[in-house]
């Protein structure tokens, strides 16, 4: 059985990942800001879920939390860098700079911080797995995707570069890139209201957090010699729009 650190564990993908891994007998150390939600999950999942309330964009707090975690759990087998967000769908020329900063701090800097802290131990033990949450938005550009999509493209390429640096070790790195998924706060945060998020999912069978969590569990439980580099999953209901053409009047 493995010990996994999962960021963004209080809801959505993170909570679904925690539920599936704990059900399989693994131990999950779940990081998130919202103490009440983490505690509710801890009450549900029992002692194999260890809640750690921390703001992932606060470096000092993350370092302190990681120090505590590594004292209690010196061997971390898996890091699931799940925490991430999109703020708005405004075109770049109308976007708020603060939203871009928050997106970069969460989707890129926090992922780097966690990876930088836990990767050396994995290499030293010659055993470990980093699983990064990408997105179809990191593979395909769309209007309003600007910094969110770019941050996920960063995640995709950073994962590949990690694989390059880790050649010759047994440490695995995977990216999971989901498309449209319901049952999380993601669209509420991205679109700014419950109503807009509800409209997006109307009459659409989107992916569920369990679909994503099941994919991650499969990747993590794959034989040690097998590395899933990148996997992209969409609901059947979602597809490609093609390239847009602007015609002058």
Q: State the residues that interact with ligand 8X3 by CB under 6 A.
A: 135-137, 179-180
Centre a 10 Å sphere on the Cβ of residue 153 and count the other Cβ atoms it contains.
18
Q: How far is the CB of 174 from ligand 8X3 (least distance, A)?
A: 17
Judged by beta carbon, residue 60 or residue 203, the one nearer ligand 8X3 is: 203
**Rounded Cα distance, 55 and 53, in Å:** 7
Torsional sign, CA 135, 139, 144, 146: positive
Nearer to ligand 8X3, 123 or 139 (CB): 139
| In the complex, least distance from residue 137 CB atom to ligand 8X3, rounded to whole angstroms | 5
Q: Is 148 in the active site?
A: yes
Contact 102, 87 (CB under 8 A): yes
Q: How far is the CB of 131 from ligand 8X3 (least distance, A)?
A: 16
CA-CA distance, 55 to 63, in Å (whole number)?
11
Give the nearer residue to ligand 8X3 in terms of CB position, either 65 or 80: 80
CB of 179 to ligand 8X3, least distance (A): 4
Beta bridge partners of residue 79, listed in sequence order: 5, 130
Residue-wise burial string across 186-214, b where 16 or more C-beta atoms lie within 10 A, e elsewhere: bbeebbeeeeebeeeeeeeebbbbebbbe
Give residue for tokens 């708005």: 88
Nearer to ligand 8X3, 136 or 215 (CB): 136
Catalytic annotation, residues: 148
């Amino acid at each position: 059985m493995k010990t996994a650190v999962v960021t963004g564990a209080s809801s959505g993908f993170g909570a679904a990942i925690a539920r599936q891994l704990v059900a399989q007998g693994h131990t999950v150390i779940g990081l998130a800001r919202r103490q009440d939600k983490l505690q509710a999950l801890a009450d549900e999942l029992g002692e194999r879920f260890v809640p750690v309330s921390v703001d992932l964009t606060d470096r000092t707090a993350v370092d302190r939390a990681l120090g505590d975690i590594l004292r209690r759990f010196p061997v971390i087998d898996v890091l699931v860098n799940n925490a991430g967000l999109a703020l708005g769908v405004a075109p770049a020329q109308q976007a708020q700079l603060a939203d871009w900063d928050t997106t970069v701090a969460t989707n890129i800097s926090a992922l780097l911080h966690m990876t930088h802290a836990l990767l050396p131990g994995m290499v030293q033990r010659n055993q470990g797995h980093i699983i990064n949450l990408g997105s179809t938005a990191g593979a395909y550009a769309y209007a309003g995707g600007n910094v969110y999509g770019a941050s996920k493209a960063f995640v995709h390429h950073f994962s590949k570069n990690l694989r390059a640096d880790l050649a010759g070790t047994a440490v695995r790195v995977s990216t999971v890139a989901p498309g449209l998924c319901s049952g999380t706060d993601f669209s509420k945060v991205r679109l700014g209201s419950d109503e807009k998020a509800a409209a997006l999912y109307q009459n659409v069978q989107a992916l569920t957090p369990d679909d994503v969590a099941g994919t991650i569990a499969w990747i993590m439980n794959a034989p040690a010699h097998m590395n899933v580099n990148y996997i992209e999953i969409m609901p059947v209901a979602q597809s490609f729009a093609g390239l847009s053409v602007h015609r002058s009047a």
